[in-house]
Amino acid sequence: MASLGVKVMRPGLWIGLGVMIAGGVLSLATSAAAETHVVEMRGFEFFPAEVNVAIGDTIVWVNKDVVPHTATAGDGAWDSGLMETGDEFSLVVEDTVNVGDYVCTFHPTMVGVISVD
């Protein structure tokens, strides 16, 4: 009976290992696919003005102007705060709450858009 028990358990063990390995490969594939999108603030514009992202991607704003800017969600869901020249702000796009129009609170004509595939 004891040896029968071992024979019954082994297939389950191997299936379990297979699931763990497959899961690991899947999570690796997901993190490898995540991209970083850089948006420059220059000439009182966001460049590019629109970024198309996937959930899990990161957007990085870099202030290339000689004056402070912000990147602030239209609905206030996220806000870089004041960004001096050379400052960077990163946002991980976790869900659709983070997408849509955003502005620089100092310069209302500075408008950007985050769209999700």
Binding site for Cu ion (CB under 5 A): 69, 104, 106-107, 110
Contacts of 83 (CB under 8 A, 6+ apart): 41, 61, 63, 68, 69, 70, 71, 89
Minimum gap (Å) between residue 68 Cβ and Cu ion:
7
Q: Which is nearer to Cu ion, 70 or 98 (CB)?
A: 70
Q: Looking at beta carbons, which residue is closest to Cu ion? A: 104
Q: How far is the CB of 54 from Cu ion (least distance, A)?
A: 27
- Nearer to Cu ion (CB atom), residue 45 or residue 56: 45
- Least distance (Å) between residue 39 CB and Cu ion: 13
**Between 56 and 68, whose beta carbon lies closer to Cu ion?**
68
Smallest separation (angstroms) from Cu ion to the CB of 86: 15
User: What stretches of the chain adopt beta strand conformation (E)?
Assistant: 36-42, 45-47, 50-53, 58-63, 72-73, 88-92, 100-103, 111-116
Cα 80 from chain centroid (whole Å)? 15
